[in-house]
A and B are shown apart, each in its own frame.
Chain A
Amino acid sequence: MSPLLSILVRALLALLLMLANGVVLIYMLRKVLGHLHLRIGPNRVGPFGALQTSMDVVKLLTKEDFIPSAADKWLFRLAPYMVFVPSFMAYAALVLGPKAAFSGLDTGLLYVFAVLALVPMGVMMAGWASNSKWSLIGGMRAAAQQISYEVPLLLSVLPIVMTAGSMSLAAIVKSQTGYALGFIPRWNVLSPQIVGFGLFMIAALAELNQTPFDMSEAESELISGFANEYSGMRFGLLFLSEFSNSFIISALAATLFFGGWLVPGIDPASPVMVWLGPAVLLLKTYVGIFVLMWIRGTLPRIRIDQMLALGWKALIPASLVWLMLTGVIVRAVS
């Protein structure tokens, strides 16, 4: 295959994964939240309501695309893409299996965080361009929150980079092969790095605007935050990227802490892993997303000042201390 064609095919596959993930996650969110709330969730279209989302997509596509007359028209049109494109770009770094990766980036981990750092700009653009108080406040909150939580999120994955000695996601997965004491897989979450996982989890919840940190679209006060004035497929794009960000962060968590595509008891070099690896990674990712939804259905929302204080005064110092401790440990072991 020519290199250009190969790039196109990979990009198309990544787009397909992103769209499929969006469709699956909307259904999963409504079903999981429904059962957590002792409701049933969608159950009319298709078996167990499984076709509900596809009908919703048709609805989104055919809805009137409304732009408020007082909105900043250019920015209003641009903002959904500003949110969607970075989210799509992040897929390039994912490593699905031993022979399945969208690209072989050496700096994959840094790349994911670098492109996801652009998402708050799109959110602010949407908030500003809508020219509505709810949207603006929602946009500002989202940006403030993502900026303050990017620091602990990055700091919490640095210890993994130190122990693996690489920023390449493939190398980080490789560093988790083998067994401690002969039977415990050397996944980072089963090592002292479980502390790093805790920090990562809290920062990731905030980065994803998830409950208990979802005040950027706090329904009871801001209706739906920065996406307030959007309708039709522009709204669809904003939501698609939100679900896709959940997928990316969850896949990162699986890769960094849960051994990526590795399966305990199966030799990573065996040919069966070529297709089993991606399936296992997807399974781990969706278990992670389920936990995110579980938290969302369980915890109340905290206030914006509380969460900013938590980020700057607790999470960042804690990640810095943990980073230093890991440095000392890595140095002492090697």
Chain B
Amino acid sequence: MPDVNPVAFVVLAALALGGAVMTVLTRNVVHAAFWLLEVLVATAGLYLVLSAEFIALVQLMVYAGAVSVLVLFVIMLTLRRREDSVRTRDLSWPVAAMSAVLAVAIAYVTRALPVPAPERAAQPDVAAFGHALFTRWVLPFEIASGILLVALVGAVWWAGRGEEL
């Protein structure tokens, strides 16, 4: 795609990958959560470089704004002592192997997909995006929101088990 600024893309991609590596390697769980936040913000930047303005803002609001705060909340509320936030580095080889297999699998599957031709005319504004979401793609959209709602209710039920809801 000719319109993607290569410098911005490389910088953001490096930030996202570097942040992901740091999330895994840092010994402090609270620092890991903040590195995760950095990854999520860099990903929003990548969407913006790809002209997906709406997705970038939603990524910023939902993942960087809400999900990482919840991650931090869980970490800070479950730590009994502050010193517990620093752990010895635990390199789990089975997990590393599984991640590697998954990465190879994703690379293999996506390699087979055709690269979409760049269509400049098809860069939708938000109104067109919303229109498409609620007409052509309304069924997948509603299924996804149904699943999220079920997960939400399930989580509340689980957390409040034994008590009146």
Contact = CB atoms under 8 A, between A and B. Distances in A.
Interface in B76-115: 76-77, 82
A60 B35 CA distance: 31
Contacts of A114: 57-58, 60-61, 65
Is chain B's binding surface mostly helix, strand, loop or mixed? helix
A214 B50 CA distance: 40
A91 interface: no
Contacts of B49: none
A118 B65 contact: yes
A15 interface: no
A230 interface: no
Contacts, number: 66
Contacts of A140: 73, 76-77
Contacts of A325: none
9 pairs of A and B residues whose beta carbons are closest in the complex: A117-B65, A114-B57, A114-B60, A114-B61, A117-B61, A110-B57, A143-B69, A120-B69, A124-B72
B126 A106 contact: yes
Nearest to A146: B69
A72 B70 CA distance: 21
A131 interface: yes
A207 interface: no
B117 interface: no
B73 to A, nearest CB: 7
A36 to B, nearest CB: 34
6 contacts: A72-B30, A107-B126, A110-B61, A117-B64, A121-B72, A124-B72
Contacts of B31: 75
B97 to A, nearest CB: 32
B65 A150 contact: yes
Contacts of B127: 165-166
A143 B57 contact: no
Given A106-B126, A166-B127, A144 B73 contact: yes
A121 B37 contact: yes
B5 to A, nearest CB: 13
Given A144-B73, A150-B66, A107 B53 contact: yes
A75 B41 CA distance: 17
A187 interface: no
Give the interface centre of A114, A131, A144, A165 by most chain B CB atoms within 10 Å: A114
Contacts of A166: 127
A128 interface: yes
B26 to A, nearest CB: 11
